[in-house]
Structure 1
């Protein structure tokens, strides 16, 4: 809990002083009572009855004041509010190494299937865009709430030579800035999910991509497709294409994202959980002073009721 007007809490410092005055008055009352030498008269002034009753109304009154002072400082609690402009960019590696079949049916087909499932499972409030990258990177689907358009764009992807992971990140960042008319000056909360086998062979470096992502405060989560034993046949020659998990891990960890491996069937749900926690909501503080005032009124009624019932007067 926080307070929207914390400066008003200084009023609570008056409560100890008020309590001290009350205690002092009780001692003075006792002093007045012992001045009477006539025992019958003393019994009328200070009758023998449970002494605690006279303190109940005072205690309830002090509790009421405490709650009113806290309410006056406007206490607030954090409330999660959905972010309608939240954007997820899905970048898919279409380099020739993705033809390797060490991930069934192939790295490329597995990555497309994973991307389709991931996009389909995103909440409707998220915008989603698609980037493909090989020797360069292309925005194949601009960020939109249209899931079918984003998924359909994955079926148009074609494999090509080389791998430009750095360019994929830069193109994804540009895609975020193209979301709407205010995105350039007020970028939406965003996250990049990059699916690849991990080698950056052309274009800007991964280190440059990390710097750009950090400057934009946009995390990059990566999903590595492949094993150390992948091979592809290119122009009649068999070439080893081992997955480079370290590059993807460095990219994710350096941008506050998460690094996953496609070998784990539960990876996509974990990726979404991480993204949902960072993009799905923003926290707003909402005034809850009415709760304290309402409880204070109950204490006031209790104080008045007990005082009337026991002493036939209001406190």
Structure 2
């Protein structure tokens, strides 16, 4: 079969033994036609009026029934043999980048200057960003008064998106430890072999706790060749901020001045070869991630394994069509009455 289908492999080649049924069936049909096994008998007193009558050309087309049946059986055997495309290696372009998102989860991220709030807007944009990076390893670090690796670097983007869904403001101790959030993200990239290593740091405040200062963490990132994009979220001026969290989970809001340390965020980005962005609403936050996506298109050529593709469907359709044609020929066009 390799001669007829050079680009196809067969999962069950033993099925071709079943093709032996076709010549047996055709042989039986020919013998039956020659010896008239199935013809009925009529008695006439004289055959004089039948002399000179020739068979109609159409009568020979009755043999199409066995042709269609043979083709149908052959196609069914091919389906059973399970044809597949040959596995192959091909060159593809991939981004080859390791990215860690470091997300502030302090209570201030519940501020309502974003829809529905800062943290939910950030989560949505991050997940959209992940969808646009199918070939990259992506991880997630969260920080408040401390830092925690929510998801290590992974190519399983369903897993990391599920972990992002579980992130809630206030799930860590209170405070904003930007230095710890950045240092933890660097630690996730420390052993990375990727050609490009990136951290996207998202916060809405000023670093006020933590053993590691933000600029010290930036120097650590620089040492390991990690580029940091910093994103400050929060409108300019006053925003509806959470001012009291009650034991029953109820949150009291009031308008307060947005306090964002843009100077430090800019210095972190500049020290590592990244860039600082200010997001004041959902639309600008989405635009920032699109720009980062464009900046981090480090295309490299790789060899990729191409998976086998099942090819039985055309043969199954052909078998069905052949059986329908046999049925029409036998019971409609060349109907034989008993």
* TM norm structure 1: 0.56
2:146 pairs with one of 136, 149, 159: 136
CA distance in 2, matches of 1:192, 1:282: 23
Matched, 1:99 2:110: yes
Superposed displacement of residue 101, structure 1: 0.9
Cα contact 1:230–1:243 (8 A) shared by 2: no
Matched, 1:171 2:180: no
CA distance in 2, matches of 1:120, 1:248: 26
Correspondence list, 1:72-91, <5 A: 82=94, 84=96, 86-91=97-102
CA distance in 2, matches of 1:187, 1:271: 18
1:153 pairs with one of 153, 157, 163: 163
Cα contact 2:240–2:253 (8 A) shared by 1: no
Task: Specify the alignment match of 2:200 in structure 1.
Answer: 193
CA distance in 2, matches of 1:145, 1:153: 13
Task: Specify the alignment match of 2:294 in structure 1.
Answer: 273
Superposed displacement of residue 261, structure 1: 2.4
CA distance in 2, matches of 1:252, 1:108: 21
Where does the alignment leave 5 or more consecutive residues of structure 1 unmatched?
A: 1-79, 178-182, 284-315
More helix by share: 1
- Residues 206-226 of structure 1 show CA distances to partners (whole Å, capped at 9, x for unaligned) of 111111011111010012210
CA distance in 1, matches of 2:301, 2:214: 30
Aligned CA distance change for structure 1 residues 282 and 165 (closer, same or farther; 3 Å): farther
CA distance in 2, matches of 1:262, 1:237: 21
Task: Compare CA radii of gyration and give the structure with the larger one.
Answer: 2
Correspondence list, 1:292-303, <5 A: none
2:243 pairs with one of 234, 238, 246: 234
**Paired residue secondary structure (2:158):** helix
2:223 pairs with one of 207, 215, 230: 215
CA distance in 2, matches of 1:83, 1:112: 22
- Residues 93-130 of structure 1 show CA distances to partners (whole Å, capped at 9, x for unaligned) of 101111111122211111111111111111x2210001
Superposed displacement of residue 187, structure 1: 6.5
Cα contact 2:107–2:242 (8 A) shared by 1: no
Where does the alignment leave 5 or more consecutive residues of structure 2 unmatched?
A: 1-91, 245-251, 303-338
**Paired residue secondary structure (1:243):** coil
Matched, 1:113 2:124: yes
Cα contact 1:230–1:242 (8 A) shared by 2: no
RMSD between aligned alpha carbons?
2.4
Superposed displacement of residue 231, structure 1: 3.9
Cα contact 1:213–1:219 (8 A) shared by 2: yes
Task: Specify the alignment match of 1:127 in structure 2.
Answer: 137
Task: Specify the alignment match of 1:252 in structure 2.
Answer: 269
CA distance in 1, matches of 2:122, 2:157: 17
CA distance in 2, matches of 1:118, 1:140: 17
